[in-house]
Structure 1
Amino acid sequence: MNDLVILAAEGETGNPLLPAPYDIIWSAVCFVIIGIVVWRVALPRIGAVLDARAEAIEGNIAKADEAQKQAEAALEEYTRQLAEARNEAGVIREAAREDGKKIVAEAKDTAASEAARITATAHTQIEAERQTALVSLRSEVGTLAIDLAGGVVGETLSDDARAAAVVDRFLADLEASEKAAK
C-alpha cells in the first residue's frame, strides 16, 4: 500500500491495477516456455499413460468376458453332469427296486417251497405215526378183544388164525361205525 501512496504522490497517472509492461513480457515468456515443456514432454507422457490405462481396461474387460464365458460353460457342464447324475441315480434306484422285488419274490418262493416240504414231511411223519399207532392199537385191541371174548364165551381162543379173523372183523365193524358217524 505504501507503493500506491508513493506512486500517487509522484504523479503518475497509470492504472495501479495493471502490471508494468516488462512484467507482462517476462510472464508471457515464462508461460510460453512452460506451455512448450508441457506440450512436448508432459502431454505425450500423460497420453501414453492414458493409452496404457485404456488398453489395460480393455484387456481386463476382454479377460472378464472370457472368464464369464468360461463360467457359463462350466455352469452348463455342471448342470448337464448334475442332470446325468440324477438320471443315473434314478436308474440305479429303479434297478435296486427291481432287484428288491426279485429278492422278495425268490424269498417267498423259497419260503413257500420250504413250507410245502415241511408240511409234506409232517404229513408223512403223521401218517407213519398213525400207522404205527394203528398197528399197536390192533395188537392191543386184538389181545383185549380175544381175552374179553374168551371171558364171555368161557373158552380160550388161542388159535391165532381165528383170533386174527375176529380182531379184523371187529376193527372193520369199528371203522364202519366211525365212517357212518361222520
Structure 2
Amino acid sequence: MSGAQLAAEEPQPLAVHASELILVVVVFLILVGLIWKFVVPNFEKAYAERTSAIEGGMKEAKEAQEEAKAALEQYNAQLAEARHEAARIREEAREQGAQIVAEMREQAQSEAERITSTAHLQVEAEKSQALLQVRREVGTIATTLAERIVGESLEDETRQRRTVERFIEDLEGSDSGVSEGAR
C-alpha cells in the first residue's frame, strides 16, 4: 500500500460527514426554537417591564417636579402675603404708637393746666387769707394806737370798724400814691 492510499483510508479530522452535519443542523434548529420559544419572550418581557419602569419613573419624576414647582410657587405666594401682613401690622403699630403718644401728651398738658389752675386758685386763696389776716392785725394795731392817741376806749364795734376801715383806706391811698410816684 502506498502512502497515498494509506492517507486516503485514514480518517480525516476536518472531514465532515453528511449524517453528522444533518444531526448538528437539526440539534441547532431545535436549540434555536427552544431559545426562541422560552428565552426570547422572557427577555422581551423583562425589557418591556424595564422600559415601562423607566418611563413610569420619568413620569413620576416629572409629576414630582411639577408638584414641587407648584409647592414652591405657593410657598412664595404665602411668603409674600406674610411679608405684606407683617408690613401692615408694623404700620398699624406705628400709627397706634403715634396715637398713644399724642394722647399721652394731651393728657399731660391737661394735667399740667389743671395743676397750674389749682395752684393759681390756691395762691389766690392764700393771698386773700393773708390779706384778711393783715387787715385784722392792722385793724387791731390801729385800734390800739387810736385808743392810746385819743385816750378813750374804742370798744364799740361799729366805731372800731369805721376807724379801721378809714385807716386802711388811707394806707391804700398812700400805697397807690407811692407806687405811682415810683413809676
TM range (shorter): 0.7 to 0.9
2:128 to 131, 138, 144: 131
Q: Does 1:65 align with 2:62?
A: yes
Q: Does 1:121 align with 2:122?
A: no
TM-score, normalization by structure 2 = 0.78
Query: Distance between the aligned counterparts of 1:112 and 1:164, measured in 2?
Result: 44
Q: Note the aligned Cα RMSD (angstroms).
A: 2.9
Q: Which runs of 5+ in 2 are unaligned?
A: 1-8
Report the 3-state secondary structure (helix = DSSP H, G, I; strand = E; otherwise coil) of the residue aligned with 2:88.
helix
Report the 3-state secondary structure (helix = DSSP H, G, I; strand = E; otherwise coil) of the residue aligned with 2:10.
coil
Query: Distance between the aligned counterparts of 1:167 and 1:150, measured in 2?
Result: 16
Q: Does 1:39 align with 2:36?
A: yes
Instruction: Answer 1 or 2: higher relative contact order, Cα 8 Å, separation at least 6.
Output: 2
Query: Distance between the aligned counterparts of 2:132 and 2:163, measured in 1?
Result: 18
Query: Distance between the aligned counterparts of 2:144 and 2:175, measured in 1?
Result: 18
Aligned-residue sequence identity (percent) comes to 40
1:12-23 to 2 correspondence within 5 Å?
12=10, 14-15=12-13, 18=14, 21=17
Match of 1:80 in 2: 77
Q: Does 1:163 align with 2:164?
A: yes
Give the superposition deviation at 1:29.
3.4
- 1:20-49 superposed Cα distances (whole Å, 9 cap, x missing partner): 646665444333222111112211221122
Query: Distance between the aligned counterparts of 1:118 and 1:92, measured in 2?
Result: 38
- 1:72-107 superposed Cα distances (whole Å, 9 cap, x missing partner): 011101101110110011011101110111111011
How many residues are matched? 171
- 1:48-88 superposed Cα distances (whole Å, 9 cap, x missing partner): 22112111211121111111111101110110111011001
1:46-61 to 2 correspondence within 5 Å?
46-61=43-58
Query: Distance between the aligned counterparts of 1:179 and 1:112, measured in 2?
Result: 39
Query: Distance between the aligned counterparts of 1:56 and 1:176, measured in 2?
Result: 123
Match of 2:101 in 1: 104
TM-score, normalization by structure 1 = 0.79
Match of 2:4 in 1: none
Give the superposition deviation at 1:181.
5.6
2:143/2:163 contact within 8 Å kept: no
2:147/2:153 contact within 8 Å kept: yes
Match of 1:144 in 2: 141
Give the superposition deviation at 1:138.
1.2
